[in-house]
Structure 1
Amino acid sequence: MQNLQNIAEDEIDLGQLVSTLWRGRLAIVAATVAGVAIAAFHIANTNPTFQADALLQLEERTGSLALPSSLSAMVDNDPRSVTEIEILRSRMVLGRAIADQNLDWRVTPDTMPLVGTMFSRYRFPLLDAVIPARFVRPGDGIELDNLVVPPSMLNESFTLILTSETEYRLLLPDDLQLEGRVGQPTTHAETGFSLTLARSQAPAGRRFHIRQVDERRAINDLRGRLSVSERGRASGILEVRLTGDNPHENTRALGAVIQAYLSQNISRSAAEAESSLTFIREQLPLAEQTLRIAEAALNAFRQEQVTIDLSLETQTILGQVTRTESELADLQRREDELAQRFTPSHPTYRQLLDERARLEARLENLRDQVGTLPETQRQILNLSREVELAQRIYTELLTRAQEVEVLRASTIGNVRIVDGAGAGPSPVAPRKAMILALGMALGGMAGIGFVLVRNWMRRGIQDPSELEALGMPVFATINYSKDADTEGRREGNLPILAFERSADLTVEALRSLRTSLHFGMLDAGTPSLTLTSSHPDAGKSFLSVNLAAVAAQAGQRVCVIDADLRRGQLRRYFNLPRNAPGLAEVLAGDISFEDAVLQGPHENLFILPTGRYPPNPSELLMRAELPRLIETCAQIFDLTIFDAPPVLAVTDPVILARHTGATIFVARHDVTPKGEAEAAQKTLASAGLKFSGAILNGFDPKKAGGRYGYGYGYGYGYRYEYKQRKE
Structure 2
Amino acid sequence: MTATQNLSDDEIDLGQLIGTLWRGKLAIAAAAALGIAIGAFHIANTNPTFQADALLQLEEKSGSLALPSSLSTMVDNDPRSVTEIEILRSRMVLGRAIADQNLDWRVSPDIMPFVGTMFSRYRFPVLSSALPSRFARPGDRIELENLVVPPSMLNQSFELIVTSETEYRLIFPDSLRLDGTVGQPTTLTETGFSITISRVEAPAGRRFFIRQVDERRAINDLRSRLSISERGRASGILEARLTGENRTENTRALEAVIQAYLNQNVSRSAAEAESSLTFIREQLPQAEQTLRTAEAALNAFRQEQVTVDLSLETQTILGQVTRIEGELADQQRREDELAQRFTPSHPTYRQLLDERARLEARLATLRDQVGALPETQRQILNLTREVELAQRIYTELLTRAQEVEVLRASTIGNVRIVDGASAAPLPIAPRKALILALSMVLGTMAGIAVVLVRNWMRKGVQDASELEKLGMPVFATINYNKDADTDGRRGGKLPILAFESSADLTVEAFRSLRTSLHFGMLDASTPSLTITSSHPGAGKSFLSVNLAAVAAQAGQRVCVIDADLRRGQLRRYFDLPRNAPGLAEVLAGDISFDDAVVQGSHENFFLLPTGRYPPNPSELLMRAELSKLIETCAQYFDLTIFDAPPVLAVTDPVILARNTGSTIFVARHDITPLGEVEAAQKTLSSAGLKFSGAVLNGFDPKKAGGRYGYGYGYRYEYKQRKQ
**TM-score w.r.t. structure 2 length?**
0.93
CA deviation profile, 1:302-349 (whole Å, cap 9, x unmatched): 110112311122112212221222222122111111111111222222
Aligned residues of 1:277 and 1:401 also touching (Cα < 8 A): yes
Counterpart CA distance in 1 for 2:685 and 2:113 is 63
Match of 1:240 in 2: 240
The 2-side partners of 1:479 and 1:179 are apart by 78
Q: Secondary structure at the match of 1:108?
A: strand
**Partner residue of 1:134?**
134
Larger mean CA deviation between 406-415 and 182-191 belongs to: 182-191
Q: In the TM superposition, what is the alpha-carbon distance from 1:636 to its structure 2 partner?
A: 4.2
- What is the CA deviation profile of residues 366-395 of structure 1, one whole-angstrom value per residue up to 9, with x for unaligned ones? 222211111111111111111111111111
Determine the structure 2 residue equivalent to 1:74. Answer: 74
Match of 2:59 in 1: 59
SS in 2 for 1:706: coil
Give SS of 2:702's match.
Answer: coil
Greater CA drift, 77-86 or 606-615: 606-615
Q: Which shows bigger deviation, 673-682 or 601-610?
A: 601-610
Assess, with a 3 A threshold, how the Cα gap between structure 1 residues 507 and 197 changes in structure 2: closer, same or farther: closer
2:483 counterpart of 1:483:
yes
Q: How far apart are the structure 1 equivalents of 2:710 and 2:74?
A: 85
Once the two structures are superposed, the pairs formed by residues 143-542 of structure 1 within 5 Å of their partners are: 143-542=143-542
SS at match of 2:343: coil
Mapping 1:535-574, distance limit 5 Å: 535-574=535-574
In structure 2, what is the Cα distance between the partners aligned to 1:418 and 1:265?
Answer: 16
2:475 maps to a residue whose letter is F
Amino acid aligned to 2:385:
R
| Local SS of the residue matching 1:318 | helix
Tell me the alpha carbon deviations over residues 201-251 of structure 1, each in whole angstroms, 9 at most, x when there is no partner.
Answer: 333333322221111111111111111111112211111011112211111
**Structure 2 equivalent of residue 48 of structure 1:** 48
CA contact (8 A) 1:705 1:711 kept: no
Name 1:113's counterpart in structure 2.
113
Q: How far did residue 697 of structure 1 move?
A: 1.1
Distance 1:538 1:617 in 2: 21
Shift of 1:552: 2.6
State whether residues 71 and 403 of structure 1, in contact with CA within 8 Å, keep that contact through their aligned partners in structure 2. yes
Which is worse superposed, 584-593 or 345-354? Answer: 584-593
SS in 1 for 2:334: helix
Matches within 5 A, 1:650-665: 650-665=650-665
Equivalent pair of 2:62/2:412 in contact (CA under 8 Å): no
In 2, the alpha carbon distance for the partners of 1:15 and 1:239 equals 55
Residues 50 and 246 of structure 2 are in contact (CA less than 8 Å); yes or no, is this contact kept in structure 1? yes
Letter in 2 for 1:531: I
Alpha-carbon distance between aligned partners in 2 of 1:595 and 1:571, rounded to the nearest angstrom: 15
- Partners in 2 of 1:135 and 1:581 — Cα distance? 67
1:436 maps to amino acid = L
Code of the residue aligned with 2:681 in structure 1: it is Q
Counterparts of 1:166 and 1:16, CA distance in 2: 72
Deviates more, 1:156-165 or 1:309-318: 156-165
Partner of 1:606: 606
Whole-Å separation in 1 of the counterparts to 2:558 and 2:177? 94
Q: Residue 71 of structure 1 aligns to a residue in which SS?
A: helix
- The 8 Å contact of residues 17 and 706 in structure 1, kept in 2 or not, is answered as no
Give the C-alpha shift of residue 287 in structure 1. Answer: 0.9
Query: How far 1:293 moved relative to its partner?
Result: 0.6
Q: Using the TM superposition, give the Cα deviation of residue 129 of structure 1 relative to its aligned residue in structure 2, in angstroms.
A: 4.2
Match of 1:426, as an amino acid?
L
**Equivalent residue letter for 1:277:** L
Which stretch of structure 1 is more off in the superposition, 5-14 or 33-42? Answer: 5-14
Partner of 2:697: 697
Q: Report how far residue 119 of structure 1 moved.
A: 2.4
Partner-residue secondary structure (3-state), 1:197: strand
In the alignment, the residues of structure 2 paired with residue 10 and residue 625 of structure 1 have an alpha-carbon distance, to the nearest angstrom, of 55
Matches within 5 A, 1:576-725: 576-709=576-709
Asked if structure 2 preserves the Cα contact closer than 8 Å seen for 1:497 and 1:507, the reply is: yes
Moved more, 578-587 or 385-394: 578-587
Gaps of 5+ in 2: 713-723
Secondary structure in 1 matching 2:73: helix
Structure 1 residues 14-23 or 401-410, which shifts more? 14-23
Mapped partners of 1:129, 1:542: distance in 2: 54
Which amino acid in the other structure matches residue 309 of structure 1?
D
**Residue equivalent to 1:720:** none
Whether the 8 Å contact between 1:702 and 1:710 is mirrored in structure 2 is no
Instruction: State the superposition RMSD in angstroms.
Output: 2.4
Please tell me the residue identity of whatever aligns with 2:550.
V
Give yes or no for contact 2:155–2:211 (8 Å, CA) kept in 1. Answer: yes
Counterparts in 2 of 1:603 and 1:166: CA distance versus 1, 3 Å = closer
2:64–2:410: 8 Å Cα contact kept in structure 1? no
Q: What is the CA distance between 1:679 and its match in structure 2?
A: 2.0
Note the C-alpha offset of 1:62. 6.0
The answer to whether the 8 A contact 2:62-2:413 is kept is no
Separation in 2, partners of 1:5, 1:687? 37
For the structure 1 residues 568 and 135, does the alpha-carbon distance in structure 2 shift closer, same or farther, using more than 3 Å as the test? closer
* Structure 2 counterpart SS, 1:550: helix
Larger CA deviation: 337-346 vs 203-212: 203-212
Structure 1's unaligned 5+ residue stretches are 713-727
2:196 and 2:490 map into 1 onto residues whose CA distance is 74
Give how far 1:682 is off. Answer: 2.3
Residue 724 of structure 1 corresponds to: none
Contact 1:62-1:71 at 8 Å conserved across structures: no
Structure 2 residue matching 1:179: 3-state secondary structure: strand
* Map of 1:99 onto structure 2: 99
Q: Are 1:183 and 1:197, in contact at CA under 8 Å, matched by a contact in 2?
A: yes
Count of aligned pairs? 712
Q: Secondary structure at the match of 1:586?
A: helix
Name the CA distance, whole Å, in 2 between partners of 1:558 and 1:10. 49
> Which 10-residue stretch deviates more, 6-15 or 512-521?
6-15
Is this contact kept in 2: 1:325–1:363, CA < 8 A? yes
For 1:119 and 1:482, how far apart are their aligned partners in 2? 45
Distance 1:183 1:609, change over 3 A: closer
User: 1:441 offset after TM fit, Å?
Assistant: 2.6
CA–CA distance in structure 1, aligned partners of residues 361 and 189 of structure 2 = 78
Retained in 2: the 8 A contact 1:49–1:243? yes
Paired with 1:540 and 1:418, the residues of 2 have a C-alpha distance of 85
SS of residue paired to 1:191: coil
Change (3 A) 1:511 1:433: same
Q: 1:162–1:487: structure 2 CA closer, same or farther, 3 Å change rule? A: closer
Distance 2:711 2:338 in 1: 83
Q: Which residue number corresponds to residue 719 of structure 2?
A: none
Q: CA deviation at 1:130?
A: 3.6
Q: Is the 8 A contact 1:110 1:134 kept in 2?
A: yes
Q: What percent identity do the matched residue pairs reach?
A: 85
Larger deviation, residues 214-223 vs 551-560: 551-560
Q: Give me the whole-angstrom Cα distance separating, in 1, the residues matched to 2:200 and 2:95.
A: 28
Give the 3-state SS of the residue equivalent to 2:194 in structure 1. Answer: strand
TM-fit CA distance, 1:285: 0.9
Residues in 2 aligned to 1:630 and 1:483: alpha-carbon distance in whole angstroms: 33
For residues 10-51 of structure 1, the C-alpha deviation after alignment (integer angstroms, 9 at most, x for no partner) is: 444444444444444443333333332332222222221111
With 154-163 and 263-272 compared, the bigger mean Cα shift is at: 154-163
